[in-house]
Amino acid sequence: MPEILYEITNSIATITLNRPDKLNAFAGTMREELLMALRRGLADETVRVLILTGAGRAFCAGGDVAAMHATQQGEEREKFTNWLNLGGEIVRTIQTAAKPVLAAVNGVAAGAGCNLALACDLRYASETAVFSQAFIKLGLHPDWGGSFLLPRLIGTARAAELMLTGEPLHAQTALQIGLVNRVVAPELLLETVRTVAEKLAAASPQALTEIKKSLAGAPPVTLEAATLREREVQLELWASEAARQRIQAFVEKKK
């Protein structure tokens, strides 16, 4: 079964992370496949809007911690660097896309999964959705653009609290602080997002593109600079003894 599903309906491309038994955590070639699916949708002239969602009860639990543990044990710095580069390229592709990209967050969105949702233009959450900047609990630094995107969405103080504590943020609270656009019942999530996507698909593509550019603005630090710094900091932390111990404890289900 493919771990990234791609479907087009009414000029809307829906990309689904499809590893439900692992909460859609990134492993294997999922990052490469997600990037290819995004590029496919953006290059297809029949596609006007893209939707990202997850199969099963999660949006995306982030990186597969067991796979991260294996890279540490094998001292596979180059592989881990490639994962970080792909994450940065994915969120930059979404942010700079000429077409709107919507997130249908159907459950857990942790770590890279949370930041994947943040990179989207609009975020709609199920009542069961939970967002988490879980990096700190593994002794790591946010990646996938999180250190850039989160403060821009909810302000520095709230972003600092989420990143420094790693505490979960439930859907209704996420709505209250402006992290998501709307919260709906689980069974209505995709219908709600597709309704919005259809409205956008009927709008002027050029106008949508220009609005996206205006919203991006000219911040003092660019997403590219942020993701490059994230890579360097993340590589340093990944190689640290503290992160090794925390990741091993996570894999072994120990505190």
Q: What is the pLDDT of residues 17-44, one digit of tens each?
A: 999 999 999 999 999 999 999 999 999 9
The per-residue pLDDT for range 215-232, each reduced to its tens digit, is 876 555 688 888 888 898
> Residue 224: what pLDDT?
86
Half-sphere CA count of 133, side-chain side, radius 13 A: 26
Domain assignments of the chain as residue spans, ordered by start: 4-188+221-251
What pLDDT score does 13 carry? 98
| Mean pLDDT of the region 179-189 | 98
- Pairing mode of beta strands 130-132, 169-170: antiparallel
Output the pLDDT for position 229: 86
CATH topology of domain 4-188+221-251: 2-enoyl-CoA Hydratase; Chain A, domain 1 (3.90.226)
d(CA 58, CA 17): 9
**pLDDT of 133 strictly over 90:** yes
Rounded to the nearest 5°, which phi and psi values hold at 104? -105, 95
Separation between Cα atoms, residue 173 and residue 166, nearest integer Å: 15
| pLDDT on residue 220 | 56
**Phi-psi map region of 250: left, alpha, beta (phi>0 left; psi -120 to 50 alpha):** alpha
Query: Up-side HSE of residue 199: CA atoms within 13 Å toward CB?
Result: 6
Of 3, 69, 11, 61, the C-alpha closest to 37 is 3
Averaged pLDDT for residues 3-14: 97
Task: Determine the average pLDDT of the residues in 61-75.
Answer: 94
